[in-house]
Amino acid sequence: MDYGLEMKYLIVGLGNIGPEYADTRHNIGFMILNEFAKQESAKFYNERLAYYTEINYKARTLYLIKPTTYMNLSGKAVSHWMSALKIPAENVLVLVDDIALPFGALRLKPKGSAAGHNGLKHIEATLGHNEYARLRFGVGADFPKGRQVDYVLNGFDKEELPELPALIDRAIEMIKSFVTIGTELTMTRYNK
């Protein structure tokens, strides 16, 4: 068994590049990775199909990527980096906004459907399966019917903003837990 592979993880924050998307709900994946990198004094570099950086944590290497392909082509970046870094699907974690969860809810899932999320849909289509973990960050669904796109492409409400830093920190704790104790134990510990 090659233990080297087990110690490598690809952490994918979904979002859209460009200042107009910077702090929108749809970009929570980028926001989590930005904070994680900042806490570890890591700097993102614009590499092939993604902003890329590496973090070492408890003898593990975490490769953080923020795809530069735009959300609905996220699979291209995920597929490229999995292959380039030789990371198996079970060591991939995708951070994604989820309107099916109330704001502030964080859920780790070992796999699952794309539930209408364009980023997840493209990853699933590109990889040919949905057997990768995802950390779903609840952004709520406080929008009129048919206005979902406007909602996720808008910033968080002023009531939500003060809570964001603690939620982002919790998401980072969950990433660290995922890479050290695995999906099941992390779910038991964190999924409420």
3-state secondary structure of 128: coil
Residue (of 161, 164, 88, 98) closest to 131 by Cα position: 88
List, in sequence order, every beta strand (DSSP E) within the chain.
8-13, 45-47, 50-57, 60-67, 92-98, 106-109, 133-138
Alpha carbon separation from 2 to 23, 83, 90, 130 (Å, rounded)? 40, 17, 15, 24
Retrieve residue 161's tokens: 């903003």
Q: Is 26 a catalytic residue?
A: yes
The residue assigned the tokens 């982002």 is 168
Alpha carbon separation from 59 to 1, 49, 63, 181, 185 (Å, rounded)? 17, 27, 13, 13, 19
Options 26, 80, 117, 122, the catalytic residue:
26
- DSSP secondary structure letter of residue 53: E
Query: What pairing do the DSSP bridges indicate for beta strands 92-98 and 106-109?
Result: unpaired
Catalytic positions: 26
